[in-house]
Structures are given as structure tokens and as C-alpha cells.
Amino acid sequence: MQRLTIIGLVLVLLGLAGFLVPRIAYTEEKTIIDVGPIEVQAERRNSVRIPDVAAGAAVAAGTVLVIVGAAKRS
């Protein structure tokens, strides 16, 4: 497989994953107090929303790259 085709397939898969999993959640750990041997930490849960437009653009761009990569191969 050519490089363009592989990159295109990865973009298509990432775009489809963006449609299937619209939010990515992660936990951020932060030190609040650090005085000598005493350390207080807090955990905060955050999430990032993946816009549908971005997922659609990734699928479209990936499809174009797969087509161009296949055309170059012929």
C-alpha cells in the first residue's frame, strides 16, 4: 500500500471513531498544597467534545486520499 492510501484509511477510521465516540473523557490530577511532607491533590474530570464537522471532514479527506492513492497505483 502506498503512503497516501494508508494515511487516508487512518483518517477515515479516526473520523468514524469521532462519530461513534463524540466525547473523550480524561482525569486531571493537580497538586493543591505542597508543604513539606504534606501534599494535597485533587482530581478533576474533564471531557472534550469532538465536533461532527471535524469527524465528517476527516472521513471526506481520508476518502479523497484513498482514491488518489489508488489512482496513483494504477
| Confidence category of residue 71, pLDDT binned at 50, 70, 90 | confident
Distance CA 38, CA 30 (A): 14
* Number of neighbours of residue 40 by Cβ within 10 angstroms: 10
| Confidence category of residue 74, pLDDT binned at 50, 70, 90 | low
| Interval 15-42 mean pLDDT | 91
Residue in 66, 47, 60, 59 with CA at minimum distance from that of residue 14: 59
Does the pTM surpass 0.75? The reply is no
Domains contained in the chain, number: 1
For residue 58, give its domain range. 3-73
Distance CA 10, CA 32 (A): 40
